[in-house]
Amino acid sequence: MKKLHALLSAGFLSCLAAGPALASGFPVSVESCGRTVTFDRAPTRAISHDLNMSEMMFALGLQDHMAGLTGITGWYKMTESFKAAMGTLPELAPKTPNVEALLSVNPDFFFAGWNYGMKPGGPVTPDTLGTFGIPVYELTESCIHLDKNRPRVSMDTMYTDVLNIGKIFGRGEQAQALVDGWRERIDAVKAARVGGLAPRVFLYDSGEEKPFTAGKFAMPTAMIEAAGGRNVMDDVETSWGRVNWETVADRNPEFIILVDYQNETHWQDLWSFLEGHPAMSVTDAVKNKRYLRLKYAEITPGPANIEAVEKLAAALKGASG
């Protein structure tokens, strides 16, 4: 990191200039999965990975500081609103990018995460990109793949990323205003909750032999709690992973979140599978047809989490018991 910082300092200190990027003051340092990354000026050719991280960038109006994005159309369709925000920015890779795809646009920043565009020991990491002078900010939710002692997920997990991206791009005040507004909306959801037990909620992403779901460190656990429920898999010591159907059925979820990959039939196929599954078909959620369809961007850390919590809270009313 010292080498990277030196490279950045040498390249950027001479470029400090008056303008919006200085509004929050530079240099700035942020914590990224236990590393300290320092920026002497705002990046001007950033790349973001995946829908959720790109939407964080868009929420701060950073398109003019971007050279492209990666990892979207290979997995899901873009919404019309996302396309409008993306404008003419190119998608450099439909799924996980390689180093060559990133270097093709001469980037000066990469916003990604572990299992969100990077894999531990893989070809694209902060270390490998650091040799090209490209700093990386890692999605906080994904840090659990490097450090098993991370704190449990909360809404602050997402807020932290937005605030840090704001600092990196000299938009600290704008980021703080966004987060303040989101906190007010989540507080309003909590204030409107009625008493009683928290409904038992299961998130079903994919998989038939073993379901892929959200554990203790994944954003949906925080969202479900903010909405007044409890993730029945909140003791699984990972962010996203596979469990077995017997455990899920034993915990008898009262409500199920179905992940919508915006590919026409995915969420419907998930529900049809549950209705035909011997163990899951007799759970309270399936018997009573209690489910909510949420888009991928709504259940991964990003601005869409806020509206998703509001939708989930409304759907959970009356689900318990």
Cis ω before 27 (30° cut-off from 0): yes
Nearest to 94 by CA among 63, 129, 68: 68
Neighbouring C-alpha atoms within 13 Å toward the C-beta of 304: 19
Q: What per-residue confidence (pLDDT) applies to 264?
A: 67
**Res 4 pLDDT > 50:** no
Residue 136 CB-density burial (10 A; 0-12 exposed, 13-18 middle, 19+ buried): buried
Tens of pLDDT, residues 26-82: 999 999 999 999 999 999 999 999 999 999 999 999 999 999 999 999 988 889 999
Under the banding of pLDDT at 50, 70 and 90, the label for residue 24 is low
Tens of pLDDT, residues 168-213: 999 999 999 999 999 999 999 999 987 788 999 999 999 999 999 9
Tens of pLDDT, residues 121-154: 999 999 999 999 999 999 999 999 999 999 999 9
Classify each residue of 57-70 as buried b or exposed e, where b means 16 or more C-beta atoms within 10 Å of its C-beta: bbbbebbebbbbbb
Q: What per-residue confidence (pLDDT) applies to 7?
A: 34
Tens of pLDDT, residues 98-127: 999 999 999 999 999 999 999 999 999 999
Q: Retrieve residue 238's tokens.
A: 């990972």
Chain mean pLDDT for the chain: 91
Say how far residue 52 (Cα) sits from the centre of its chain.
Answer: 5
**Res 1 pLDDT > 50:** no
Q: Retrieve residue 31's tokens.
A: 């914590």
Instruction: Name residue 259's beta-bridge partners.
Output: 294
Q: Is the pTM of this model over 0.75?
A: yes
